[in-house]
Amino acid sequence: MSLRASAEPAWILHRRPLRETSLILDVLTRNYGRISLVSRGGRQARGGGLLQSFRPLKLDFVQKTELGTLSRFEADGVAPRLSGTRLWCGFYVNELILRLATHNDSQAAELFDAYLTVLQRLPEHDPAPLLRQFEYRLLSHQGYALQPDVLTQAAAFRWDSTRGLVASSAGVPVAALQALLAGAWDARVNPCRPLLAEMLRSQLGTRPLQSASMLRELTSLQSSRAAGPGTTG
């Protein structure tokens, strides 16, 4: 494998130190999917503060093995303003990609665009439907798309790890699943959460997502604060 890319649109999903001054970057690119790059001296390089999650970038890099080398980087627009719950939603999406997306995927443009949509909308919109639609886009990209013809067979469905969609009166209403397949990014897809959670669980295995746990704790804390002090007696 030999690849040389110039001005490639990209987002950093995760970074970790390498020796004293360098970084290993896990990156989502538009034309090559998820890749890993070494940024030599990246911890001390001029402009190195750009090498963070949630900053739109253009990268020049060379990749001869699975671990490529970053040669140049620059900002590619304004970073979304994420804080609190919305910041952890961003980390959750990043971790999903790291756990499920394959390396060097030349068909990842739709996934890249879905990621961009999430980050653009997160600062001002309800995070829940954004996460549901992205979860489905990622699962679909990995080969687990729901089949529209199956949705005509019942009014509600659940997910079975061995049989796929199964009719269930206690499952997700078909209208919500149809909205999901139609690409909706609004509250119509919120009821799909339990079904998508089961689909993700079957792919992620037993190791939990660290960001999901933190997001639940943060949401619980914010809910308790909103409820105000408790009373007894």
Q: Which domains are present in the chain?
A: 3-75 (2.40.50.140), 84-226 (1.20.1440.120)
E-assigned strand segments in 81-188: 156-160, 164-167, 172-173
Residue 119 identity (one-letter amino acid): L
Rg over CA atoms, the chain: 20
What pTM, to 2 d.p., does this model score? 0.88
* pLDDT tens, residue order, the chain (233 aa): 678 999 999 999 999 888 878 899 999 999 999 999 999 876 666 666 789 999 999 999 999 888 999 999 999 999 999 998 899 999 999 999 999 999 999 899 999 999 999 999 999 999 999 999 999 999 999 999 999 999 999 999 999 989 999 999 999 999 999 999 999 999 999 999 999 999 999 999 888 788 777 767 766 655 555 555 443 33
User: Each residue of 73-104: pLDDT tens digit?
Assistant: 999 999 999 998 899 999 999 999 999 999 99
